[in-house]
Homo-oligomer: A and B are copies of this chain.
């Protein structure tokens, strides 16, 4: 039997190796794109053998999962101070989306490939996969925080689903961002600035009696969508 300290040391080493591979991959992807980067190069840059890289990541595409998680963590860290500072719902939402755009900017060039991978339903990366990676929970959690720490009290039947709806809205912005060829993705920033006030207004109006049927219908639809 091996000692716990040894197990721990091995675990640490494994984590460092795994991180080194992801770091190397991200750097190379940024430098020469996804297609232009070979697994041999990634492994060499990380100081491991190709076989070893495949021990940690079963395919080249699975390396993108590393990017996904990395981005979600970085985004969460970037949002924390903003969300501690702002209380206005629309401004909170705007801050979260703006931070995402800032954090993701260096990867825009190969984000198309990333998105293509994520769009495949059978892929664990798919944002719609039932119990997908922690990245989805992280993202929905951020939007739950956006609502919880804000000045709005939406329709009670809506409040439960609002974080997920905001996450879907966020996904829509990402879809547009991926296709955005304007410098520094300025168009997506415009789009966010234009649509956030609409979302803000809709959420605030959701308590109005006249909008109840629409809200109920939308919430029902979301439930039907999610049931599997």
Contacts and interface: CB of A to CB of B under 8 A. Distances in A.
Interface in A177-228: 178-179, 181, 187, 190-191, 194-195, 198, 217, 221, 224-225, 228
A225 B195 CA distance: 12
A117 interface: yes
A112 B198 CA distance: 32
Contacts of A181: 121, 228
Interface residues of A, number: 27
Contacts of A128: 179
23 contacts: A112-B119, A112-B122, A112-B123, A113-B120, A115-B119, A115-B120, A116-B116, A116-B117, A116-B119, A116-B120, A119-B119, A119-B178, A121-B178, A121-B179, A121-B181, A126-B179, A128-B179, A176-B225, A181-B228, A191-B224, A191-B225, A194-B221, A194-B224
B116 A112 contact: no
Interface of A: 112-113, 115-117, 119-123, 126, 128, 176, 178-179, 181, 187, 190-191, 194-195, 198, 217, 221, 224-225, 228
A195 B224 CA distance: 12
A26 to B, nearest CB: 19
> Binding site of A, secondary structure by majority: helix, strand, loop or mixed?
helix
A100 to B, nearest CB: 18
Contacts of A123: 112
Contacts of A112: 119-123
Given A113-B120, A116-B120, 4 more contacts: A116-B116, A126-B179, A190-B224, A198-B217
Contacts of A228: 181
Contacts of A176: 225
